[in-house]
């Protein structure tokens, strides 16, 4: 009788552990879905591009003025991003569609493109975690980057005529932290 009860207990314990593991995976996938939603919003994806021509506006159209990434991500020689993009957004009184601004305006450098556009979740996840693509950042540095980098924060205050990232910044950071705390598992 005791052996039967012990087997039932062991089976129930195994099922509870499996259910708990499944719940943790589901939670990590939900957190990464929030991260993906933010990173693939135009405020992020317009500069995290596969090619060398950034996109602009909420509809992600090709950037005017034939703008190019440049090796360092700060624009082509003779046309750096800082030609038009200052340290802060211009006042609303300047009108719609003026160049936005934030400290250190740039795209990722050519060697670390960090492509977000149309990346499936698993690919985006691998890209984020790959220090060869993310500028040498570990998970803690990535979390700090999304938490406090002024250019990242600009996505929630993009200036007149631009939709901000729809997920509140605090919620994004919390989801990113929970995902990294769970070991940054990739979906799928």
Average pLDDT, the chain: 90
Two structure tokens written together for 15: 């099922």
Q: Is the pLDDT of residue 13 over 60?
A: no
Which residue, among 104, 91, 132, 87, has the nearest Cα to 47 in the 3D structure? 104
Cross-strand bridge partners of residue 55? 62
Query: pLDDT value at position 96?
Result: 85
pLDDT digits (tens, 9 = 90+) for 34-82: 999 999 999 999 999 999 999 999 999 999 999 999 999 999 999 999 9
Q: What is the pTM of this model?
A: 0.87
């Amino acid at each position: 009788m005791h052996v039967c009860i012990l087997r039932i207990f062991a089976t129930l314990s195994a099922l509870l552990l499996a259910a708990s593991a499944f719940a943790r995976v589901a939670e990590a996938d939900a957190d990464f879905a929030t991260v993906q939603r933010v990173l693939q919003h135009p405020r992020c994806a317009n500069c995290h591009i596969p090619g060398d021509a950034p996109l602009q506006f909420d509809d992600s159209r090709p950037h005017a003025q034939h703008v190019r990434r440049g090796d360092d991500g700060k624009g082509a020689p003779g046309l750096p991003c800082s030609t038009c993009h200052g340290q802060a957004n211009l006042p609303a009184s300047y009108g719609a569609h003026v160049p936005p601004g934030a400290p250190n305006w740039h795209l990722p450098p050519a060697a670390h493109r960090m492509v977000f556009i149309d990346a499936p979740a698993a690919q985006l996840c691998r890209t984020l975690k790959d220090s060869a693509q993310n500028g040498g950042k570990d998970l803690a540095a990535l979390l700090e980057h999304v938490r406090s980098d002024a250019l990242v924060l600009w996505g929630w205050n993009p200036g007149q005529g631009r939709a901000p990232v729809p997920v509140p910044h605090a919620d994004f950071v919390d989801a990113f932290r929970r995902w990294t705390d769970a070991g940054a598992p990739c979906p799928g």
